[in-house]
Amino acid sequence: MNPPVAEGMFGHPVSCCAAVRSGLAMGSRGDGVWQRVRRLIERPGTENVLRYRRVVAAAGERADVLRALSDDELTAAAERLRTTPDRPFDRDEFAEVCALGREAARRTLGETPFDVQLIGVVALLNGYVVEMATGEGKTLTGALAAAGFALQGRRVHVVSVNDYLARRDAEWMRDLYAMLGVSVGWVDQQADWADRRAAYTCDVTYVSVSEVGFDVLRDRLRTDPAEVVLPAPDVVIVDEADSVMVDEATVPLVLAGDVDRGRNEITFARLVRELTTGEHYEVDGDRRNVFLTDAGIDLVQHRLGGVDLYTDTHAELLTKVQLALHARALLHRDVDYLVRDGKVQLINVARGRVALLQRWPDGLQAAVEAKEGLAASPTGEVLDSILVQALIGRYRTVCGMSGTAVAVADQLAEFYRLKTGRVPMNVPCVRDDEPDRMYATMAQKQAAIVEYVRTVHETGRPVLLGTLSVAESELIAGMLAEAGIDGVVLNAKNDAEEAGIIARAGEFGRVTISTQMAGRGTDIRLGSVDGAGRERVAELGGLCVVGSGHYHTSRLDDQLRGRSGRQGDPGSSVFFTSMEDDVLVHLPDARRRVEAGEDGRVRSARARRAMAHAQRVAEGVHLEIHRDTWRYHNLINIQREVVLDHRHQVLTGDEAPRRLRELCSERYELLLETAGAEALSDTARAIVLYHLDRCWSEHLAYLADVREGIHLRALGRETPIDEFHRIAVAEFSEFLPEAYRRSAETFDRVEITDDGADLEALGLKRPTSTWTYLINDNPFGTPEERFRDFLGGIVRDGQSKLGMPS
């Protein structure tokens, strides 16, 4: 697949792209033809953002006038543009905000936004996800759009992939915003309540996806409206939009409390430690699935007290055994996780680095901890959770930017009803993307990579080697060291450090070995960071990017390539692949019958096509999983909205005393007399909020359990999702009645003294501490994936459990 960065606006070769770009200055000439051609060749879901070039041209005409203004006059001009959300900008005002933004950027950052950047700004202001190649200056584009929204009276969150980038970008753009009279703040993990509150009251707030998600969750549990930190969601500009909105869309952000109700996953973890591979369980050739053998089933059933695991009633037990076995057999230390300071730290597969905030679901986490002989980390109770997709979906206006968005335009349309458009490059890309070099075995591939890096390095050209995993980075770094090449290995460090190292990857003679996403968001300049030595490196051919294999989506490949060749720099990229690569898991047949040369090199076109096909299959599998997961969560979301709505009425109104008066009139009158109306209302409110939150947490836990076992329950009857809906809707119909039944019970027993009511004495304890995390359920997939694997195992074993034909 061709990398979009090497193409023009509509996937044309670069020469054609130049023609389109010159159209920037041509005004409307040839529009009709273009419109028709565009419809023929655009990807579904993409739209032409070049139509905004006229707005940008109009901004250009204002440049001289604005240049003559003093700084204060410029700020005053921006102030005059301010409007309210009910009267959004017209075309002239869009042009004026671009012109003001350009002039302010020139004065405060010393960078004059290019026309293409301003096209991006107008597209963002019109609710697009824009694709702009790496190095085209998305940070500035996003900031000008944020200022444009703010001047229309909107409140903007610029959402980034990590805390480091949120802070860096807010500080970088601070003076620009100041000159436009727009206030800006940022939030990171360390921010306390007051910092957050202050940052969120700014016109524009930079924040990572996880932090804003955690704030949403915490706000939902407030018992005092004055403690809420987030204003109503309005505009979000999502940086690295495809990564956040597609790749991480189904990652749940979780708020848990320390109500430890005791869990027995540890038992299962211990149980599977007794099992031996070959005898009790078998692992698939591709090491993605693990199955109990008959002997294994017998042993487990015996240990569990003689149950029959394969009956409906024991679906839950079976799931837990499967989880524990997955932890035991399929999760590998240093590949999937590290053990550090007595803790299990996950390695995020997509980013190939330690994901500090992440943990697996409790069962698996406990299983891995038990496997490593570590103390079990505290298990809490999930108080609430939200998927990244639902988090983004809360905003009234969503837009975003990315180096690779067009490839997922249809998904952005499907899941977010968003339009996507590609902004052409300022300077055409001249990077040389070489065809893959394919090898029969992994070992031959690695040897070839080392040899290739050695020859390039001899010339002094900087090399950036992108690997698929932390373990692989270390392996190849070791091999390079043996060949006398000292590379800088970059993984599992913190974001700020990574950024510093990646920024230097373009220096003469430098070899940087990094997992795909390490140092994301950081620009690699040729020569040193301050630009010295640029010519020397450019003459050698610029940055040489080497990929050690294809990722599960071509977008990640393209992002790696995009590290080289920014703003017309010379550069090259090449991927080394092997017939043993992971991505071929999806196409096992492709591994057979490959003809290789003596050095292991595979030159067959068929093998090459198989590799590309496998990647598309992988992308399709991810999409299906995304759809499945979303279907389940969407229903829960709808129910959550109902509960939140009601909770809001309780929190801010007199719903609680009103309802309790109906339910317990005698008690109500008595307390009214003894305690007075205000104390009574406060107590009623606190009681109802407590029970609403408790019931919600229980409802979530119940639905999570149902979902884990839904495929087994639904087997042979309805489709799992329908069955899930049926159960969830039935259960939810009892939600409010149950919450009020419990509230009435408490209300009947509560005493109100001068100090208020002591609810703790009645057993109404809110968690004393809460913590937040992201769940990573990639290692063995969602319940749907696991079920597919599980069925696959049964069919493969030739067994006919659960009445399935073998």
Positions that interact with ligand ADP (CB under 6 A): 111-114, 117, 132, 134-140, 523
Q: Residue 533 CB, nearest distance to ligand ADP (Å)?
A: 17
Please say which residue, 112 or 652, places its beta carbon nearer to ligand ADP: 112
Alpha-carbon distance of 371 to 383, in angstroms, equals 27
Please say which residue, 121 or 692, places its beta carbon nearer to ligand ADP: 121
Q: Residue 606 CB, nearest distance to ligand ADP (Å)?
A: 36
By the 10 Å C-beta count (0-12 exposed, 13-18 middle, 19+ buried), 21 is classed as buried
Q: Residue 496 CB, nearest distance to ligand ADP (Å)?
A: 15
Q: Is 117 annotated as a binding residue?
A: yes
Please say which residue, 136 or 242, places its beta carbon nearer to ligand ADP: 136
8-14-18 Cα angle (round to 5): 80
What is residue 622's three-state secondary structure?
Answer: helix
Q: DSSP letter string over 49-98?
A: -GGGHHHHHHHHHTHHHHHTS-HHHHHHHHHHH---TTS---HHHHHHHH
Judge whether 481 and 471 are in contact, CB under 8 Å: no
Q: Is 568 annotated as a binding residue?
A: no
Q: Is 336 annotated as a binding residue?
A: no
Q: Residue 132 CB, nearest distance to ligand ADP (Å)?
A: 6
Please say which residue, 178 or 427, places its beta carbon nearer to ligand ADP: 427
Q: Residues of 321-342 as b/e, b for ≥16 C-beta within 10 angstroms? A: bbbbbbbbbbbeeeebbbeeee
Element (H, E) at 572: strand 571-578
Please say which residue, 404 or 683, places its beta carbon nearer to ligand ADP: 404
Residue 286 neighbours by CB distance under 10 Å: 12
Residue nearest to ligand ADP (CB): 137
Alpha-carbon distance of 527 to 506, in angstroms, equals 5
Q: Residue 140 CB, nearest distance to ligand ADP (Å)?
A: 5
Please say which residue, 115 or 581, places its beta carbon nearer to ligand ADP: 115
Please say which residue, 132 or 237, places its beta carbon nearer to ligand ADP: 132
**In the sheet where 353-354 sits, what is the strand order?**
337-340, 343-348, 353-354
Residue 297 neighbours by CB distance under 10 Å: 20
Q: Residue 139 CB, nearest distance to ligand ADP (Å)?
A: 3
Residue 359 neighbours by CB distance under 10 Å: 23
Helix segments in 238-361, DSSP class H: 241-242, 265-273, 294-303, 315-329
Q: Residue 400 CB, nearest distance to ligand ADP (Å)?
A: 12
Judge whether 117 and 425 are in contact, CB under 8 Å: no
How do 252-257 and 343-348 pair as beta strands?
unpaired
Alpha-carbon distance of 119 to 132, in angstroms, equals 11
Instruction: Using the structure block, give the residue that is written with the tokens 């940070």.
Output: 139
Alpha-carbon distance of 514 to 498, in angstroms, equals 9
**End-to-end alpha carbon distance in the chain:** 39
What is residue 666's three-state secondary structure?
Answer: helix
Q: Residue 502 CB, nearest distance to ligand ADP (Å)?
A: 11
Q: Residue 110 CB, nearest distance to ligand ADP (Å)?
A: 8
Judge whether 158 and 205 are in contact, CB under 8 Å: yes
| Side chain identity, residue 431 | R
Q: Residue 401 CB, nearest distance to ligand ADP (Å)?
A: 8
Q: Residue 403 CB, nearest distance to ligand ADP (Å)?
A: 7
> Please, which residues have CB within 8 angstroms of residue 146's CB and are 6 or more apart in sequence?
156, 158, 177, 182, 204, 235, 237
Q: Residue 177 CB, nearest distance to ligand ADP (Å)?
A: 15
Q: Residue 452 CB, nearest distance to ligand ADP (Å)?
A: 26
Q: Residue 661 CB, nearest distance to ligand ADP (Å)?
A: 58
Q: Residue 488 CB, nearest distance to ligand ADP (Å)?
A: 21
Please say which residue, 57 or 376, places its beta carbon nearer to ligand ADP: 57
Please say which residue, 453 or 545, places its beta carbon nearer to ligand ADP: 545
Q: Comparing C-alpha atoms, which of 239, 240, 238, 237 is closest to residue 146?
A: 237
| β-bridge mates for residue 52, sequence order | none
Please say which residue, 135 or 783, places its beta carbon nearer to ligand ADP: 135
Alpha-carbon distance of 611 to 596, in angstroms, equals 15
Alpha-carbon distance of 150 to 179, in angstroms, equals 13
What are the counts of helices (DSSP H) followed by strands (DSSP E) for the chain? 30, 26
Q: Is 419 annotated as a binding residue?
A: no
Please say which residue, 169 or 619, places its beta carbon nearer to ligand ADP: 169
Q: Is 137 annotated as a binding residue?
A: yes
Please say which residue, 175 or 523, places its beta carbon nearer to ligand ADP: 523
Q: Is 432 annotated as a binding residue?
A: no
Q: Comparing C-alpha atoms, which of 136, 119, 389 is closest to residue 253?
A: 389
Judge whether 244 and 229 are in contact, CB under 8 Å: no
Tokens of 297: 């089933």
Output phi, psi for 334, to 5 deg: 75, -10
Judge whether 431 and 6 are in contact, CB under 8 Å: yes
Alpha-carbon distance of 27 to 22, in angstroms, equals 10
Q: Is 72 annotated as a binding residue?
A: no
Please say which residue, 21 or 711, places its beta carbon nearer to ligand ADP: 21
In whole angstroms, how far apart are CA 80 and each of 77, 97, 152, 187, 544? 5, 11, 11, 29, 49
Please say which residue, 174 or 613, places its beta carbon nearer to ligand ADP: 174
Separation of CA 256 from chain center: 20
Binding residues: 117, 135-139, 523
Binding residues for ATP: 117, 135-139, 523
